[in-house]
Structure 1
Amino acid sequence: MKKLSLIVLSLLSVILIEACKKSSSDDSSTTTTPTFQVYVNDSLWTPRSVTAVLTYDSKAQTKTLTCTGIDTTDKIVWNIKQPASSLDSTFTSKTYYVSDTANVKPMYYKLNSSNVFVATGTIKSGNITISSFDAKSKVMTGTFAFVTTKLNYDSNGNVTSITANNITSGQFNSFAFTFQKQ
């Protein structure tokens, strides 16, 4: 009888302990930071597809980092080119300004009626900050912002308005990239 009571008590203890365990699916306190997101004219935009490629060009002795976010009607692409003499996947972490050099090229595209992505204007200002760049793990983190403007003309060729697109608070978090050589 004593053995039976001990077995029943042990079994009940195991059942109670298992019932009190927190299920991993109940954990609602976890938040996930999007890999890539940006505000386009004050509206949050998170693309469906994102890619990043670091390309080493041995002839030009440069590395170009290209990041692309694309959705059904919008696309954002930015490129940073820097001198490089070695074939590796390193890249300098710093803030790159559009006005400093022609080697920093962000652009915002919209899908037109012919289903072709068309640039929304000319870059006026902006920057891309690479805050961390892990060549071994091939992930990077940073921010970006820029402004495009487009002059609109009437049938006589007179400027009637200016359309501006403000790309603000862009971020890429632990964003994976691939490395290739040309």
Structure 2
Amino acid sequence: MMLKSLTMENVKVVTGEIEKLRERIEKVKETLDLIPKEIEELERELERVRQEIAKKEDELIAVAREIRHKEHEFTEVKQKIAYHRKYLERADSPREYERLLQERQKLIERAYKLSEEIYELRRKYEALREEEEKLHQKEDEIEEKIHKLKKEYRALLNELKGLIEELNRKAREIIEKYGL
């Protein structure tokens, strides 16, 4: 095997190639060190968002329960109003008529108040649903970021492996070529 002479020009070329590989390896290593930290931060944020989602779901359940309760109470009040209307028609005395009329008026006021409360609760429920939906979107975005970072991490690991193999290959070539 004939050995080529190791000239200064050859040394510069080989050293430059090796230095470029080393620089790229260092950049890849730095990025690889940062990605797990980013993923960890995103996973903490994801956990926080999931806790907020659970809290919103609990609030939604409570508001829905309250709406059902108020609607049930509203139905009962409507039935009592109808009941009082029948008895108003059969009232025996002005005093009984006045008493039934006052009770009916209180029931009508209660029904009105309940309908307002139900309306407000439904608005609150819809607002909570919108907030929950935004949180679900945020959850999806964070999960997508984590997925992309993990994919990038795997790609960088593969690149690093290739760069190290390339560096080793160049070192073997130099040893073989120049008989070192």
TM range (shorter): under 0.3
Structure 2 length-normalised TM: 0.25
RCO (CA 8 Å, sep 6+): is it higher in 1 or 2? 2
- Pick the structure with more strand per residue: 1
Q: Give TM-score scaled by structure 1 length.
A: 0.25
Larger CA Rg, structure 1 vs 2: 2
